[in-house]
């Protein structure tokens, strides 16, 4: 039986499923870049705390999930511009299970999370698939690069796009 996939606003009761999904997507995306020991050390607890905080906070209205039937298969979230903190909307995360990629859900999540806003994001330097997706959506490399020490020194690069009409 085929399920209908849809994107909807995340709700506080999604926090536990989102924590598990976040970890699963993260392992699929970065498992080949990070050591097995590092990946094994990652748990749901920290992500659960993050999701509970995020979905109870002022930016809960900017967090979305993709659901296949009743099962969450992806999510995206953004933070609005904030004086002295962010000059533009920040896409802080977008993840979709590999089994659901290529169906338009990633695009639907991106559209829900940032719409036509001017936006920026950080993406793993060694994630060409994600970079290609962002380029198709008007993002360009800004030249900024950073190293995430908590992720075994993984490099990430900055991409941004202007507001769309």
Position 15 in a domain: yes
What CA–CA distances, in Å, run from 19 to 72, 81, 98, 115, 123? Answer: 11, 25, 17, 24, 20
Give the range of the structural domain holding residue 104, as residue numbers without chain letter: 5-116
Residue 152 lies in a domain: no
Residue 71 lies in a domain: yes
Q: Does the residue 86 lie in any domain?
A: yes
Does 2 score more than 60 pLDDT? no
Tell me how many domains the chain contains.
Answer: 1
Using the Cα atoms of residue 91, residue 156, residue 52 and residue 66 in order, give the sign of their dihedral: positive
- For the stretch 65-116, pLDDT in tens is 999 988 999 999 999 999 888 899 999 999 999 999 999 999 999 999 999 9
Query: 25 in a domain, yes or no?
Result: yes
CA distance 39 to 18: 18
Check which CATH number belongs to the domain holding 64 and give it. 3.40.630.30
Average pLDDT over residues 127-132: 96
- pLDDT at position 1 is 42
Per the CB < 8 A criterion, the answer to whether 9 and 25 are in contact is no
Torsion of CA 8, 107, 105, 18, to 10 degrees: -50
CB atoms within 10 A of CB 29: 18
Q: Is residue 129 part of a domain?
A: no
**CB of 80 within 8 A of CB of 24?**
no
How crowded is residue 47: how many other Cβ atoms within 10 Å of its Cβ? 19
- 17 compared with 70, residue with greater pLDDT: 17
Furthest C-alpha separation in the chain: 50
63-68 β-sheet, strand order: 5-9, 63-68, 71-79, 89-96, 119-124, 154-161, 140-148
Report CA dihedral (4, 5, 6, 7) to the nearest 10 degrees: 170
**123 within some domain:** no
pLDDT tens, position by position, 24-73: 999 999 999 999 999 889 899 989 999 999 999 999 999 999 999 889 99
Domain assignment present for 72: yes
């Amino acid at each position: 039986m085929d399920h209908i996939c849809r994107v909807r606003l995340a709700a506080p009761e999604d926090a536990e499923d989102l924590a598990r999904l976040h970890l699963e997507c993260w392992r699929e995306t970065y498992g080949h870049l990070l050591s097995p020991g590092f990946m094994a050390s990652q748990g749901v607890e920290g992500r659960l705390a993050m999701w509970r905080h995020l979905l109870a906070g002022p930016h809960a209205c900017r967090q979305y999930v993709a659901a296949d039937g009743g099962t969450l298969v992806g999510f995206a979230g953004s933070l609005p511009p904030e004086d002295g903190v962010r000059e533009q909307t920040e896409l802080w995360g977008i993840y979709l299970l590999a089994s659901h990629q290529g169906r338009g859900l990633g695009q639907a999540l991106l559209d829900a999370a940032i719409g036509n806003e001017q936006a920026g994001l950080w993406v793993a330097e060694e994630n060409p698939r994600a970079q290609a997706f962002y380029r198709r959506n008007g993002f360009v490399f800004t030249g900024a690069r950073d190293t995430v020490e908590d992720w075994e020194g993984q490099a990430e690069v900055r991409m941004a796009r202007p507001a769309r009409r």
